[in-house]
Structure 1
Amino acid sequence: MTVATSMRTISGTPVLSVRDLVVGAKTPQGPRTIVDGVSFDLHQGQILGLVGESGSGKTVTCRALMRLLPATSLSIQSGSIRLIDQDIAHLPEDKMCQLRGSKIGMIFQNPTSHLDPVMRIGEQIAESIRFHENASRREAKAKAVDLLRQVGIPDPQSRVDNFPHEFSGGMRQRALIATALACNPGILVADEPTTALDVTVQAQILRLLLDLRDQRGLAMILITHDLGVVAQTCDSIAVMYGGRLAEIGPKRALLREPRHPYTARLIACQPGASTGYGLMPSIPGQPPSVNAFPSGCRFHPRCDLAIPICQQEHPPMREMAQDHFSACHRAEDVVPLRTDTDVNQARKAL
């Protein structure tokens, strides 16, 4: 069975339903598939963590959901992206502009590169409000002040007139979150929202996202490579490798009993609670290049459970437990990589 035909709903009709999404790229070596057959559901109030190594296809997948792929190099080849009751995969750009910000918003990874350095913070937040809500400058600025207050910016009445360089890194990230929330979208896509922040500010931003989810009933997709962050914030986890979904399921089940060798090794590589001097565990080999994806299961060159069929056939996504799916020929044989002296941070957070 595939996820598309067998995934159960968690709380009614999903607010976002992705089915068999394929994203292609133009490269000097010819056309290549970057994201291959990704399917998942997102429900109101749910936070889905999208994890995997760099180059696994996480950001491309979420930019495809926003229809923010660079048209000269990347495009959606097939599949559907159903936002509530509308397939937006090939929606004309003028209509997509109406949905971005009002129905689905995005928090980008680096606020410095996504905030205009010569435009006041309040003006950048108000721009979206004026576009979507036909508000006056005064109304839009008043709402920008309120949004800055909601995301924890001190003295928002005066800070609204600051430029980005007058904000700290954490404050810029909060301003970017305020911008994404300006027109009350029901879905937020957060691309590594805490990567460049110190651990204290990171915790504050994650707490803010959780509070916003609780207050507004937001659905979120959180892109990250940090399973500790996922364990603290997410309800479900989707693991990507080589442009494909390797495993998807409820957080607790997936972290405690992974059913894909790649997931098990990712968990084992997380920093643990012990302070020993041994080497950190690692996954042997390198992630595959988009120009040289292996046949069959794309993880098989790095997998110690690989058998001949893994090299020959792409494993179908199978349901291993309720709402827990794995694309592995030997999913039943996967065991968590635990040691007696070190419990990884992700499981400890549970």
Structure 2
Amino acid sequence: MDKIEAHIQYFVIRMCRQDLKDGVTWLQNSPAQSPAMILADNGFDVWISNIRGTRYSRRHVSLDPNSADYWNWTWDDLVMHDLPALIDLVFKQTGQKIHYIGHSMGTLIALASFSEGKQIDKIKSAALLSPVAYLSHMTTALGVVAARAFVSEITTIIGLAEFNPRGEPVSDFLKALCAQAGVDCYDLITALTGKNCCLNASTVDHFLKNEPQSTSTKNLVHLSQTVRDGVLSKYDYGSNDFNQAHYGETKPPRYNLTNIPHDLSLFLSYGGQDALSDVQDVETLLDCLKYHDVDKLHVQYIKDYAHADFIIGITAKDIVYNQIISFFRNQG
């Protein structure tokens, strides 16, 4: 490309409780419909990253993925270590502030990290699709059942540090969840994300052949605690003594989203049919941002969109991505 207009950090981590995805998700559609290619075609330098534990991110300087220690992490670690390291890497390589795009859990770790002041000086703006911070009102039956199971000390049920959906123990566990009353897993994407309006059948087939990916069981427990407690806080170790040992206080510290700098340019897009990023929960998030500079906060509501439409929907280019491009270009 002749001109690089900006540098965009893509952090494509879905909600790992159910959407265990890697960076390839940004490239599932045709080049004309895939967000990474659309942005590249518009002159942006696109960086795609992968969450630890997925197929392209399983190496470690000292730990083996077959060991339990490798999987001893939650999204707290992504907030405190992984995302800041990624931002720093891109910043050092490009010498420019970064436009960030995240979907689902990619929005969760971004919001939490921004609230902690991590690398905020290297961020020019952020686009958050299907933003997740509060999960008390999610309506997906499978998600609710899974969250209850994980809060009920899932580690003692399946005895695994790695949650590999393609492995037999986890597969059997998921089958048991799908057999419960009110849970219909015949259409898995709908069961997980809500009634998506605009998916291509061939893209869905390709998507399901490549996903889901592994995550840590501890990470799923942490996400389920967020559903249970209705607040955004660090991992709860289950007792006052353990929390005291880890945090110096008996309760896990909360992430205070009102600490996000009011002049940080944010683009939030959410859907009326989203069963994970529920409208009521997004409104709770927006309430945390009520003192944000008016000219720095752009909110888009799409009535017919559910969770997957934002990333593999065939209409997302015209409805969402073109808006993001305009938003980025207006940031100076």
Q: TM-score, normalised by structure 1?
A: 0.28
Name which structure has the greater RCO, CA cutoff 8 Å, separation 6+: 2
Higher helix share: 2
Larger Rg: 1
Q: TM-score, normalised by structure 2?
A: 0.29
